[in-house]
């Protein structure tokens, strides 16, 4: 378990002092894949560097395995860093060393005999799926392959915690997916706790079970990923969860139509053709104005904005029907306008 208690970090810059972190409290349980998400400048990188004391916190403490890391000497911290390892956005491989030598580097630091280190590095190359790259140099590898080598290197000392600092931000979506799969596999098979720093909600959605949202150095929201996705409370969270929706939905509010907002909170709705059923059972052909739904573990989270054609009766029927669906909240956001509502059909919208 890693506990961040009242963690603050101030930097003194040429433009005066900067509070990079302000009284952060977080608990990361063993076995978690814990996401820390925020826009750039939110303090994510500083936060992750406080966990392994690359940055010493100005205030507060980091407690891992019962040890207050801030109270340890530099020598003791170096020992801890064999247990809490790190991968980076820019991979940070030694460019003048082969992949095998890169993976052996942390083992050399702990004075493991060369033959043994070599054997372990070869096994790790196998783990990350690049057994034939032992004697290649990093420059000969793609970005995804370089990150795999970096992951193998981070695993060399058999760590308990893996810190991922924007580890997939330099990769294309397909490669990102493959690397995240590998990280998940490492978490599950080796029982390594993973802390993922990212600015991409899709990364959190794909592998994290818990998430904290960081804004201007403070945690504005924290909890289970499914909970945060279905019901984002903080403004910063909403901007991250529904980046396209936030503005789009507001503009529909002035459209003078009968509108219903569905909020999916883990509904099994992926298997229920809700809109089609409504058309068949009630004879109401709802128009989907906007939808930002995400599927997490087979369940649907998110928002959908419907335009219900017809008058108040149709609206009432539709609401009644929709409310029967479990885990879906129905909000009527309507501004009723007789003129548009009396038309036979609602105008289809973008």
CB 180 within 8 Å of CB 148: no
Is 12 a binding residue for another protein by CB under 8 A? The answer is no
Nearest approach in angstroms of CB 137 to another protein is: 4
Q: What six digits make up the tokens of 310?
A: 């017809």
Residue (44 or 81) nearer to another protein, CB: 81
Laid out side by side, the sheet with 84-88 consists of 84-88, 161-165, 193-198, 33-37, 210-215, 218-224
* Per-residue contact string for residues 36-55; x = within reach of another protein by CB under 8 A: ----------------x-x-
Can you tell me which of 92, 175, 231, 327 binds another protein, judged by CB under 8 A?
A: 92
- Torsion over CA of 331, 336, 339 and 342, rounded to 10 degrees? 50
Query: Which residue stretch of 10-18, 35-43, 80-88, 267-275 sits at the interface with another protein (rule: CB under 8 A)?
Result: 80-88
Can you tell me which of 1, 71, 95, 190 binds another protein, judged by CB under 8 A?
A: 95
Residue (62 or 154) nearer to another protein, CB: 154
Is 79 a binding residue for another protein by CB under 8 A? The answer is yes
Tokens 């095998």 found at: 100
Q: What six digits make up the tokens of 182?
A: 């590998």
Can you tell me which of 2, 7, 33, 80 binds another protein, judged by CB under 8 A?
A: 80
Residue (157 or 175) nearer to another protein, CB: 157
Nearest approach in angstroms of CB 150 to another protein is: 8
Can you tell me which of 56, 67, 108, 324 binds another protein, judged by CB under 8 A?
A: 108
Residue (118 or 238) nearer to another protein, CB: 118
Can you tell me which of 10, 157, 218, 287 binds another protein, judged by CB under 8 A?
A: 157
Is 109 a binding residue for another protein by CB under 8 A? The answer is yes
Nearest approach in angstroms of CB 121 to another protein is: 14
Residue (86 or 225) nearer to another protein, CB: 86
Identify the sign of the CA torsion 296, 260, 252, 233: negative
Q: Which residues bind another protein (CB under 8 A)?
A: 52, 54, 77-82, 85-86, 88, 90, 92-97, 105-106, 108-110, 137, 139-140, 153-154, 157
């Amino acid at each position: 378990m890693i506990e961040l208690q009242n963690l603050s970090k101030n930097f003194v810059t040429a433009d005066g002092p900067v509070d990079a972190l302000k009284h952060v409290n977080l608990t990361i349980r063993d076995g978690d894949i814990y996401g820390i998400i925020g826009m750039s400048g939110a303090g994510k990188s500083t936060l992750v560097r406080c966990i392994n004391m690359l940055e010493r916190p100005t205030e507060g403490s980091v407690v891992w395995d019962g040890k207050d890391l801030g109270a340890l000497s530099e020598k003791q911290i170096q020992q801890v860093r064999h247990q809490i390892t790190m991968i980076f956005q820019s991979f940070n491989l030694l460019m003048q060393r082969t992949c095998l030598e890169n993976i052996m580097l942390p083992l050399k630091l702990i004075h493991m005999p060369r033959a043994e280190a070599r054997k372990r590095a070869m096994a790790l190359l196998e783990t990350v799926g690049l057994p034939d790259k032992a004697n290649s140099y990093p420059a000969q590898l793609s970005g995804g392959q370089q990150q795999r080598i970096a992951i193998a290197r981070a695993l060399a000392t058999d760590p308990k915690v893996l810190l991922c600092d924007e580890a997939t931000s330099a990769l294309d979506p397909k490669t990102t997916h493959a690397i995240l799969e590998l990280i998940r596999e490492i978490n599950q098979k080796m029982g390594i706790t993973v802390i993922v720093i990212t600015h991409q909600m899709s990364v959190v959605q794909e592998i994290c079970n818990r998430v904290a949202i960081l804004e201007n150095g403070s945690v504005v929201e924290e909890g289970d990923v499914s909970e945060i996705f279905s019901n984002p409370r903080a403004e910063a969270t909403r901007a991250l969860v529904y980046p396209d929706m936030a503005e789009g939905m507001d503009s529909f509010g002035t459209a003078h139509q009968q509108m219903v907002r569905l909020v999916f909170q883990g509904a099994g709705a992926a298997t229920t053709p809700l809109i089609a059923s409504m058309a068949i059972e009630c004879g109401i052909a709802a128009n989907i104005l906007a939808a930002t739904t995400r599927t997490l573990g087979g369940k649907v989270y998110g928002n959908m904005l419907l335009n219900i054609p017809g008058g108040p009766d149709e609206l009432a029927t539709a609401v009644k029907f929709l409310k029967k669906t479990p885990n879906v909240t129905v909000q009527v956001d309507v501004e009723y306008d007789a003129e548009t509502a009396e038309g036979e059909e609602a105008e289809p919208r973008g």
